[in-house]
Structure 1
């Protein structure tokens, strides 16, 4: 790691994970050790903004996580460079949101992109073409660290001479050592930045909400997580909980749940909230906590077993040592969470359910946002979705839609009510053709 120029903060974070691996940490959190979280403040019930917004924005930075290539979606570029709607990419909308907020409130809220070595070049080239003014700002880019894979048999560094970059991919959840080791944490503090809003670059529901900013500042929490209510579609994903031993909030991911507790884990009436990965961090509190722990946040290990080449199941088994960024909620005594509305997938975002507002946000114009479940075998990859969807159907009157098989959507399709569509029963939804099953 030193040979590759990584900081001592990055090395310390990896060493903390490696020590947990060697010590035999399982990361398991049994149901008996936690309590359900039942009552949280809701964004829709928070007080409106007041006249202190401009002063707060001067103390605030927006950090977008932009290190993912989107390989699970069939992309070989940053996910944020994918077109969302009306010719705009995720990154276009993010950049325009920042500019509009600055103009409206007369405050140059700080903007940072956290890139990886895989996304930095593409992202910088895009900004140079489309948003050159942002690219010229100081501290615009925070580079994600690399984290070595560990040979599963020997615990030695993984070796893959055919493609050495696979030995040491971007780290997961390493925003905290990246902020510290790069010097950006100190740089932001010197500029008077106190509050950091962190979210994924491909989450268009993750805007800098002024009500949440005021709530975070007024409650004086060190850390705040935006959560959504779980539905049946979310029961396999992680949830928020409270640890019995110390009363702290924590995240329990599926990999942390013993098999015997799977039923409780998936009980959405018991564990009601999931992490959106929209996080608010008090930077002075973060610096104090890092200093108190030798520069490393004591995050629980996620031991992800893979092959050194994830596309070659015959390559050597390895452990990829990961942490969840949101797991930092358990590192602070004064951590909290707030319930926010759900955001939707690309298929729905591209439909007439959403519009792009003058503030460059994407907002629903329907009272009800339909729940859409597409067949992952045919729609998970963006290129496949686009081949099957010549035009996004009208979904304003749709309540729910489940698609099974490679159903092709042409132009002029209007869907209303609740439907499950199967191929080959409905092999093609043709341009302008009547679709009785959808009526």
Structure 2
């Protein structure tokens, strides 16, 4: 049985021969693997976990108002860059290509909305906030083509790639591309924790610093609530916080989300994977851990440079086992949120739920396409007529999983302002101008097609056949 150091040196010499990736990527990968093999992961001592105080996780409503003077606001915004994590494919929703080009509302894609938002900000304050897109090798080519359509836009748009690492074959701990898998399946992007080194290695970090940029706002491209917030930016600049994670109150839908804790005098992200088995239920309880990470992050660019150069960002490694064409492989990944403990004066800000509106599935698409929201200057604004602060819970069956199928099954998106929950399963089709209220459950029996007629108003109903409507 090979020792870990033998495994590593064998892997290292195999990786050295891979021509598809840069020297930076090779050393980053080997660094990650050697940390993984050394088993340096510190176990969290459960008894040392403390609930963060309001100094560490600042309530949003206590933030100072933004300066009323437009020139002061312009000064703030001129220090800012927006970076969207754009490495994900829309495969779970049945789309090919980057997820950010799925149409969200009124014919606008995620990317269109992001561009319109920054354009209106730049126009309003006469500033120049650039947009960066961190792609993966999966989304790079498509994104380059898509970005061309914004060539007449007033925004500076820059793209760069996150690292490309070889998947490791579990059986003999060798790189998959060396074992007859030279195509895309041999590789993986190592999670968004890679944003720090990729920003540096791409040359973008130094270019931004030379233009006087100080902060970058990083968010997932599919989170429609992740818009530039002047109050947060103002707070970070005034308090010289090097890192800020936006957190928001947990609901039952978010029990697996990472949370912020105070640990040995520093603020730290606690993920479910780090929790000892006997404490998992406690971690999931909304009573003790009341907040979770939205992955909206604000970073000081000089601090990022300092820490990357010092090789100080040793985030927890997330082993992600997969099976590709019958071969068991391992991907080692890191998450950007885990870097919080390495920055000085790092804080969380407990933001309103409206800043977390991710579209992970067609059930989320139903929410944002409905009358629950309107679109203003690229911003998705919640309908004031909805009195319940929580969104309806929506469960759609597999027939609705792919965006194409989802769109054909709705003649128009129903009104859901007064809906609490919706469950749909089976071969169900929706007419136009339907109103859903309260709790609605619709189940088509196997082999039967169930059509909800135009103009139907369904309130607190369980429907299993046309007679129930």
Q: TM-score, normalised by structure 1?
A: 0.89
Deviates more, 1:360-369 or 1:373-382: 373-382
Closer, same or farther: CA 43–203 of 1 in aligned 2, 3 Å: same
Q: TM-score, normalised by structure 2?
A: 0.84
Corresponding residue number in structure 2 for 1:31: 46
Deviates more, 1:188-197 or 1:402-411: 402-411
Alpha-carbon separation, structure 2, partners of 1:204 and 1:189: 27
Closer, same or farther: CA 335–4 of 1 in aligned 2, 3 Å: farther
Corresponding residue number in structure 1 for 2:268: 250
Corresponding residue number in structure 1 for 2:145: 125
Closer, same or farther: CA 432–128 of 1 in aligned 2, 3 Å: same
Deviates more, 1:33-42 or 1:204-213: 33-42
Corresponding residue number in structure 2 for 1:60: 80
Corresponding residue number in structure 1 for 2:226: 206
Corresponding residue number in structure 2 for 1:87: 107
Corresponding residue number in structure 2 for 1:339: 350
Alpha-carbon separation, structure 1, partners of 2:255 and 2:45: 17
Alpha-carbon separation, structure 1, partners of 2:440 and 2:427: 16
Q: Retained in 2: the 8 A contact 1:58–1:193?
A: yes
2:320 to 304, 308, 314: 304
Alpha-carbon separation, structure 1, partners of 2:445 and 2:52: 44
Q: CA deviation at 1:348?
A: 0.5
Corresponding residue number in structure 1 for 2:200: 180
Q: Retained in 2: the 8 A contact 1:205–1:362?
A: yes
Q: Retained in 1: the 8 A contact 2:82–2:129?
A: yes
Corresponding residue number in structure 2 for 1:14: 29
Q: Retained in 2: the 8 A contact 1:388–1:408?
A: yes
1:1-400 superposed matches below 5 A: 3-4=18-19, 6-25=21-40, 29=44, 31-37=46-52, 39=54, 40-50=57-67, 51=69, 52-129=72-149, 131-134=150-153, 137=156, 140-159=158-177, 161=180, 164-173=183-192, 174-243=194-263, 246-293=264-311, 297-307=313-323, 309=324, 312=325, 315-342=326-353, 343-344=356-357, 345-357=364-376, 359-366=377-384, 367=386, 368=388, 369-375=390-396, 377-400=398-421
Closer, same or farther: CA 32–385 of 1 in aligned 2, 3 Å: farther
RMSD over equivalenced CA pairs, Å: 2.5
Q: Which one scores higher on RCO, CA 8 angstroms, separation ≥ 6? A: 1
Alpha-carbon separation, structure 2, partners of 1:378 and 1:36: 43
Alpha-carbon separation, structure 2, partners of 1:152 and 1:260: 29
Q: Retained in 2: the 8 A contact 1:65–1:200?
A: yes
Alpha-carbon separation, structure 1, partners of 2:302 and 2:95: 37
Alpha-carbon separation, structure 2, partners of 1:288 and 1:26: 23
Flag the structure with larger Rg: 2
Closer, same or farther: CA 268–436 of 1 in aligned 2, 3 Å: closer
Deviations 1:205-260 (A, max 9, x none): 001111111112112111001111111111133222222xx222222222222322
Alpha-carbon separation, structure 2, partners of 1:407 and 1:251: 42
Alpha-carbon separation, structure 2, partners of 1:37 and 1:429: 49
Alpha-carbon separation, structure 2, partners of 1:256 and 1:141: 33
Report the 3-state secondary structure (helix = DSSP H, G, I; strand = E; otherwise coil) of the residue aligned with 1:192.
coil
> Runs of 5+ in structure 2 lacking a partner?
1-14, 358-363, 462-468
